[in-house]
Amino acid sequence: MKKLKNIASIIICFIMALGLNSCVETKQFEIDEALLEEQINDNDIQISYRMPSGFKPIKKSMVDSITSAELQHDPFAPKILAIYVDTLLSNANAVVSDMRNVPAERTENKLDFYFTEYNPNNYWDKVEKTIYKFNQFTKVVQLDMYNSNSRLIKLFFYDENKAKFSVDYFLPEAYYLDLEPFIESSIGSFNDGYTLVIEQTKP
């Protein structure tokens, strides 16, 4: 009898998990390739993506220096992989970070209390959270934070039940409507894994 109860409990938990997963809606992005830079293949976390047109990477040595300082302060902080700066708007940028070394409990706790965790001193007028899935990502958590001056779009891309990497887009609010199609195209370009095409030269 006890064994049957245990089996029943497992089945119920499995059904509940399926139900929760099915509640996550699939998001469709309108991607305009004319608004994007060339594809980036990241070997560290095996993803591919494209940044908005005009967003150029800063030198890897600078990224490594920033990452080293962050990890010395907090060994479990996200590892910054790349930083992109908008060459047209100097105060717009994007950051891609490896989240695999960040304890899952830390990430989930911050997302559970996202309004206070990501809004110190009430800097942002609005902090909104949405959860969806697209491409190969079964879960993406997106935070939209903005005030009259700035907007931060922070995304957590999951691998099963743990955040694999994050992407931050920091933008001037005055230009957000102009930049929105660029950002949407960039977010929609993220893919888990990529295919390397090697061209062979004829002898």
Q: Is the predicted pLDDT of residue 146 greater than 70, yes or no?
A: yes
CB 83 within 8 A of CB 63: yes
Predicted structure pTM score: 0.84
**Which of 3.40.1000.10, 3.40.250.10, 1.20.1440.230, 1.10.8.60 is the CATH number of 2-192?**
3.40.1000.10
- For residue range 83-139, list pLDDT tens digits in order: 999 998 878 999 999 999 999 999 999 999 999 999 989 999 999 999 999 999 999
Helix (H) or strand (E) holding 139: strand 137-146
Cα atoms in the 13 Å half-sphere on the side-chain side of 98:
19
Q: Show me where the domains of the chain are located.
A: 2-192
- For residue range 45-63, list pLDDT tens digits in order: 999 999 999 999 999 999 9
CB 143 within 8 A of CB 153: yes
First CA to last CA distance, the chain? 74
Alpha carbon distance 8, 98 (integer Å): 39
